């Protein structure tokens, strides 16, 4: 199946690496990917294709192959993170405080290369290249892309995500949830305040916050099936300054994650019910802002079988198992529109340190780029079988 990719890569591997390095050196944050969008569009246009920029001015799609029948979509995300890079690479970020610490530069370059390889072939099925902005923010640029109609006419969608824990040459895939839903809970508390020697004359805001800090995660562990991999963790706690003064205001911020789609749908009313019950005896006033993020990415079984065949075509040892991640991924929004699957592309060089995503010194083995292009091309061809 990979002859199309092999033939293209034999002549253009240097271009693939150069595109990735250009994107890496010029990162842009969510919804500001104007230069990235222009760069990708320019490469596509230079090869005779007709990309369409999305309504917000960032992100684009490009259709290739037959215009009839449902298309196979390949998605690459484009945005970077608000992090200073510490790799000392010759093509390190040239933008202070912004870097591609999640591999989106590689994702974009691979989808671009796979699209050009496919465009040079006689395809049995139509393909939509989808270059998406704003994956790193909630609820994600995929939601905007869907609203703009990028899934119209798409019958199945695929994506690869860099995995720095998996060796180059291997690709992980699994049926069912591969990421988790990720929502944010913001709780603001108010109290008249007072002296810590007389808590009975006011409402003890710190005590109320402590009740929620321990009580909400604990109650969720009793109200939700543990097999759903649901976890609530606080990330920020702010209140008070003096040891002998009950503060008048405070804030808690945390995340709720779950690997089950149905659990995610019912999570907000459940959190509100638990918080109300915990705080009712304290008398403290509060405001709960529950911010829904993304649902879990739930890989469709048939799409996974297509993925497995696309990976096996690389060799007998290419297919790897992978675990569900607690992280969120807005690729899930596309799966609300059509079946599909996301796989994990090994980018670890096979020896030495294993990096993690969102680390300021993340480095990927660029041999993985060719592997990713081959898998993406194979996914399209296998989908047409």
Report the DSSP beta bridge partners of residue 5.
none
Band of the pLDDT at 1, cuts 50, 70, 90? low
Of 357, 366, 343, 314, the residue nearest 101 (C-alpha): 357
Could you read off the pLDDT of 102-142 as tens digits, one per residue? 999 999 999 999 999 999 999 999 999 999 999 999 999 99
Least confident of 210-214, 321-325, 341-345: 321-325
Note the pLDDT of residue 297.
97
Angle at 45 between CA 43 and CA 46, to 5 degrees: 65
pLDDT given for residue 345 in this prediction: 98
Q: What is the pLDDT of residues 232-286, one digit of tens each?
A: 999 999 999 999 999 999 999 999 999 999 999 999 999 999 999 999 999 999 9
Whole-number Å distance between alpha carbons of 371 and 111 = 12
pLDDT of residue 385: 83
Q: How far apart are CA 257 and CA 295, in angstroms?
A: 9
pLDDT digits (tens, 9 = 90+) for 281-317: 999 999 999 999 999 999 999 999 999 999 999 999 9
Nearest 5°: phi and psi at 203?
-115, 130
Q: What is the pLDDT of residue 193?
A: 97
Query: β-strand 127-132 against 71-77: which pairing, if any?
Result: parallel
CA separation for the pair 272, 162 (Å, rounded): 36
pLDDT band at residue 2 under the 50/70/90 scheme: low
Q: How far apart are CA 92 and CA 70, in angstroms?
A: 40
CB count within 10 Å of CB 119 equals 18
For the cut 70, the answer to whether the pLDDT of residue 97 exceeds it is: yes
Give the domains, in start order, of the chain with CATH numbers.
3-177+297-383 (3.40.630.10), 181-294 (3.30.70.360)
Backbone angles phi, psi at 129, to 5 degrees: -85, 125
pLDDT of residue 246: 97
Q: Where are the alpha helices (DSSP H) in the chain?
A: 3-25, 34-46, 104-119, 141-147, 205-223, 261-265, 267-279, 301-312, 367-383
Q: Which residues of 214-244 are buried (b: 16+ CB within 10 A; e: fewer)?
A: eebbebbeeebeeebbbbbebeeeebbeeee
What is the sign, positive or negative, of the torsion defined by CA atoms of 188, 194, 196, 202? negative
């Amino acid at each position: 199946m990979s002859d199309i990719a092999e033939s293209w890569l034999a002549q253009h591997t240097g271009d693939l690496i150069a595109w990735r390095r250009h994107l890496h050196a010029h990162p842009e944050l969510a919804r500001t990917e104007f230069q990235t969008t222009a760069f990708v569009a320019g490469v596509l246009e230079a090869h005779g294709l007709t990309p369409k920029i999305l309504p917000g001015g960032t992100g684009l799609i490009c259709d290739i192959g037959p215009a009839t029948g449902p298309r196979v979509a390949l998605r690459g995300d484009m945005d970077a993170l608000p992090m200073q890079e510490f790799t000392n690479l010759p093509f390190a970020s040239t933008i202070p405080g912004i870097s591609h610490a999640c591999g989106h530069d590689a994702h974009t370059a691979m989808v671009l290369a796979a699209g050009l390889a496919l465009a040079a072939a006689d395809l049995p099925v139509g393909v939509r290249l989808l270059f998406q902005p704003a994956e790193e923010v909630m609820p994600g640029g995929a939601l905007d892309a869907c609203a703009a109609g990028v899934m119209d006419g798409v019958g199945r969608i695929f994506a690869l995500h860099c995995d720095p824990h998996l060796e180059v040459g291997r690709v992980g895939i699994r049926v069912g949830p591969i990421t988790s839903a990720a929502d944010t809970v913001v709780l603001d508390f108010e109290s008249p305040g007072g002296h810590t020697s007389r808590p009975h004359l006011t409402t003890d805001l710190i005590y109320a916050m402590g009740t929620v800090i321990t009580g909400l995660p604990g109650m969720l562990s009793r109200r939700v099936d543990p097999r759903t991999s649901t976890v609530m963790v606080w990330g920020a706690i702010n209140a008070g300054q003096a040891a002998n003064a009950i503060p008048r205001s405070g804030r808690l911020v945390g995340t709720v994650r779950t690997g089950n789609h149905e659990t995610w749908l019912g999570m907000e009313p459940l959190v509100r019910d638990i918080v109300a019950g915990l705080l009712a005896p304290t008398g403290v006033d509060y405001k709960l802002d529950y911010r829904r993020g993304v649902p879990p990415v739930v890989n469709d079984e048939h799409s996974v079988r297509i993925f497995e065949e696309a990976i096996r075509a690389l060799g007998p040892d290419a297919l790897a198992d992978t675990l569900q991640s607690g992280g969120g991924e807005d690729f899930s929004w596309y799966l609300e529109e059509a079946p599909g699957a996301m796989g994990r592309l090994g980018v670890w060089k096979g020896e030495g340190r294993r990096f993690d995503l969102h680390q300021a010194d993340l480095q990927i083995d660029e041999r993985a780029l060719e592997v990713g292009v081959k898998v993406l091309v194979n996914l399209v061809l296998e989908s047409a079988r």
